[in-house]
Amino acid sequence: MKALVLSRNIPRFAASRVASILGSGRGAGIGPLQLLDADAPDAPGTDWYPLRPLLSGICGSDLATVDGRTSRYFEDMVSFPFVPGHEVVGILDDGGVDHSGHTLAPGTRAVIEPVLGCAPRHIDPTCTQCGSGHTGLCGNLAIGPLAAGLQTGFCTDTGGGWSTAPLMAHASQLHAVPDALSDQDAVMIEPTACAVHAALSAGITEGDLIAVIGAGTLGLTTIAALHSVVRPSTPCTVVVGAKHARQRQLATSLGADQVVPPDQLSRAVRRSAGSLVLGGRLTEGADVVFDCVGSAASITEALSLVRPRGKVVLVGMPAKVTVDLAPLWHRELTLVGAYAYGSETSPDPGTPDRRSFEVAIDLVGTASLGRLVSALYPLERYEEALAHAGSAGRRGAVKVAFDLRNPKGRTR
């Protein structure tokens, strides 16, 4: 069995960072990522189950890691060497138990909710955040019997999705995949859960004007979440800035009201908001802006698009950026992050709270989000796969994933 393994190797990280200047994902060929023989890791406890990956996606945070561009903020929340891959659908060859205590039969397909919070770390009593279901906000990411790691795919003890060898999944992480969902649908559940969490935690109210910056995986799944999860009970208008033609098609098909190229987004928001313009900035603007890019430019744009006292939600993972916060101060804006997932309060009163993953499992089915999986690569072609993922939008792709079902897998 094989796995892509990322080791702590400072010179190689430096080299990959330089290589990434040529394009996102280009650090794979020269950096610390290596394809090695691998076995399943030892189970950290009796409530851990081996999950043999079928498909495992390549996320923006994975690319940043491979390219050595991740914020140093995360340094103490990973343990080397580790097998990346936290967007995983796999098979429980030996069966297991899911997050709610249900037994899963051998051969069950499952996805993992990869955050390694208090439950997988056997911390009892749990922290306040985990206790209230907000596992993504757990602070105990380097505590307990498990090595440091904010998620599966960043922890040396659990293994990860970029492997033909099983990873180890804690019962609290496991969600069975309904038969109706394809493997492609299932591998989209994790990023979709992030989008669901972002959409539901933004405090959208009826009639709001929403702007979405970026239409990669996170942007598109955010649009789907806004359309299918938020909008049925909270009507709102969604305007999207999408760079590439394929992204614009998908954004429209997923329910955006208006989709424009990025350089037209400000004008589109201005029109919808009925705003004036002062010094190139809108005097009014969107009620909520979802920044699904996470760059200095996109954050700056988000701050210019949002109305006074409006909210900017960072969905895309930012790193160290330089941003003029004068508008944030002057217009009393709220800049808030949306990381991972947790327990979601439905916008529909009377509906009980649900895990982000549960909502996401429904959403990938209703919105057919498996169609966002544009290309599958075998592990052996990881350099090509990462380069493809790094230039997905430009190449008409959205989600690129590793196909671990067949060692001689093919690209499609």
Nearest distance in Å: CB 268, other proteins: 6
Choose the stretch contacting other proteins; rule: CB under 8 A; options: 100-108, 169-177, 256-264, 348-356: 256-264
Instruction: Give the CA distances from residue 142 to residues 99, 119, 137, 168, 340, in Å, rounded to whole numbers and listed in that order.
Output: 21, 13, 13, 17, 17
Give 169's strand partners.
49
Among 274, 279, 280, 350, the residue binding other proteins under the rule CB under 8 A is 274
Among 275, 304, 356, 374, the residue binding other proteins under the rule CB under 8 A is 275
The answer to whether residue 279 forms part of the interface with other proteins (CB under 8 A) is no
8 Å CB contact between 403 and 55: yes
The single residue listed with the structure tokens 């659908």 is: 89
The answer to whether residue 276 forms part of the interface with other proteins (CB under 8 A) is yes
Nearest distance in Å: CB 223, other proteins: 18
Nearest distance in Å: CB 297, other proteins: 20
- C-alpha span between 339 and 263 (Å, rounded): 27
The answer to whether residue 251 forms part of the interface with other proteins (CB under 8 A) is no
8 Å CB contact between 192 and 219: no
Indicate the residue among 95 and 308 with the shorter CB distance to other proteins. 308
Nearest distance in Å: CB 264, other proteins: 5
Nearest distance in Å: CB 252, other proteins: 11
The answer to whether residue 280 forms part of the interface with other proteins (CB under 8 A) is no
Indicate the residue among 265 and 379 with the shorter CB distance to other proteins. 265
The answer to whether residue 237 forms part of the interface with other proteins (CB under 8 A) is no
The answer to whether residue 245 forms part of the interface with other proteins (CB under 8 A) is no
Structure tokens at 93: 């060859």
For residue 159, the SS3 value is coil
8 Å CB contact between 238 and 210: yes
- C-alpha span between 324 and 77 (Å, rounded): 29
Indicate the residue among 29 and 261 with the shorter CB distance to other proteins. 261
The answer to whether residue 264 forms part of the interface with other proteins (CB under 8 A) is yes
For residue 242, the SS3 value is coil
Alpha helices in 203-244 (DSSP H): 217-225
Indicate the residue among 109 and 248 with the shorter CB distance to other proteins. 248
- C-alpha span between 270 and 305 (Å, rounded): 8
Among 260, 314, 386, 389, the residue binding other proteins under the rule CB under 8 A is 260
Indicate the Cα dihedral angle 224, 228, 234, 240, nearest 10°: 20
Nearest distance in Å: CB 227, other proteins: 18
Indicate the residue among 280 and 350 with the shorter CB distance to other proteins. 280
Indicate the residue among 29 and 255 with the shorter CB distance to other proteins. 255
H helices, E strands: number in the chain: 12, 21
The answer to whether residue 258 forms part of the interface with other proteins (CB under 8 A) is yes
Indicate the residue among 56 and 258 with the shorter CB distance to other proteins. 258
Query: Which residue type does 55 have?
Result: L
Among 8, 271, 330, 410, the residue binding other proteins under the rule CB under 8 A is 271
The answer to whether residue 386 forms part of the interface with other proteins (CB under 8 A) is no
Compute and round to an integer the Cα radius of gyration of the chain.
20
8 Å CB contact between 375 and 412: yes
8 Å CB contact between 276 and 256: no
- C-alpha span between 63 and 367 (Å, rounded): 26
Choose the stretch contacting other proteins; rule: CB under 8 A; options: 56-64, 74-82, 268-276, 392-400: 268-276
The answer to whether residue 244 forms part of the interface with other proteins (CB under 8 A) is no
* Cα 154 → chain centroid: 14
Four-residue CA torsion sign, 285, 288, 294, 296: positive
Among 102, 122, 267, 394, the residue binding other proteins under the rule CB under 8 A is 267
Nearest distance in Å: CB 242, other proteins: 13
The answer to whether residue 394 forms part of the interface with other proteins (CB under 8 A) is no
Residue 289 burial (10 A CB sphere; 0-12, 13-18, 19+)? buried
Indicate the residue among 258 and 298 with the shorter CB distance to other proteins. 258
- C-alpha span between 351 and 408 (Å, rounded): 46
Indicate the residue among 109 and 307 with the shorter CB distance to other proteins. 307
Nearest distance in Å: CB 271, other proteins: 6
- C-alpha span between 67 and 50 (Å, rounded): 29
Binding positions for other proteins, rule: CB under 8 A: 258, 260, 264, 267-268, 270-271, 274-277
